[in-house]
């Protein structure tokens, strides 16, 4: 039997993405696409993140390093924003604080798991 790739496996990544994009659009137009609630998305992310952190996959370390770099970039951007006059609203500040609290809680959970 031939091992030649067929179908999606023979397509380059951009072609696969375009086909998937078209399928997603069609499903939304038909009304059959799944609409994630915030709670479903949060739970899926929690499960996926937990699997990655427990897998022992070396790429997880790289992802965590990338997250740390991203958080450092956010902190730098917020510091720059603090030194400029801007049109920031109290709602935006609350939203940023909530996001930081969520990130802090997640870091605490990770730390608790690795020190247990």
The number of angstroms, rounded, from the C-alpha of 24 to the middle of its chain's C-alpha atoms is: 19
Residues 6+ apart with CB under 8 A from 27: 33
Q: What distance in Å separates the CA atoms of residue 100 and residue 104, rounded to the nearest whole number?
A: 6
Separation of alpha carbons 33 and 21, rounded Å = 12
Buried b (16+ CB within 10 A) or exposed e, 4-34: eeeeeeeeeeeeeeeeeeeeeeeeeeeeeee
pTM of the model: 0.43
**Of the candidates 114, 112, 104, the residue with the CA atom closest to the CA atom of residue 75:** 104
Per-residue pLDDT of the chain (116 residues; tens, 9 = 90+): 567 788 878 888 888 888 888 888 888 788 887 777 888 877 777 776 665 555 555 566 677 788 888 888 888 888 887 877 766 778 888 888 898 898 899 888 888 888 87
Residues contacting 71, CB < 8 A, separation 6+: 103
Q: How far apart are CA 45 and CA 37, in angstroms?
A: 12
Residue 110 pLDDT: 84
């Amino acid at each position: 039997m031939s091992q030649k790739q067929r179908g999606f496996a023979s397509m380059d990544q951009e072609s696969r993405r375009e086909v998937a994009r078209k399928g997603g659009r069609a499903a939304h137009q038909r009304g059959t696409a799944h609409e994630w609630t915030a709670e479903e998305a949060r739970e899926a992310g929690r499960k996926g993140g937990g699997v990655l952190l427990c897998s022992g996959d070396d790429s997880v370390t790289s992802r965590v390093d990338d997250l740390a770099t991203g958080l450092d970039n956010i902190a730098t951007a917020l510091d720059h924003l603090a030194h400029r006059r801007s049109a920031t609203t109290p709602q935006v500040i609350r939203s940023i604080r909530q996001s930081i609290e969520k990130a802090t809680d997640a870091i605490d959970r990770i730390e608790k798991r690795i020190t247990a």
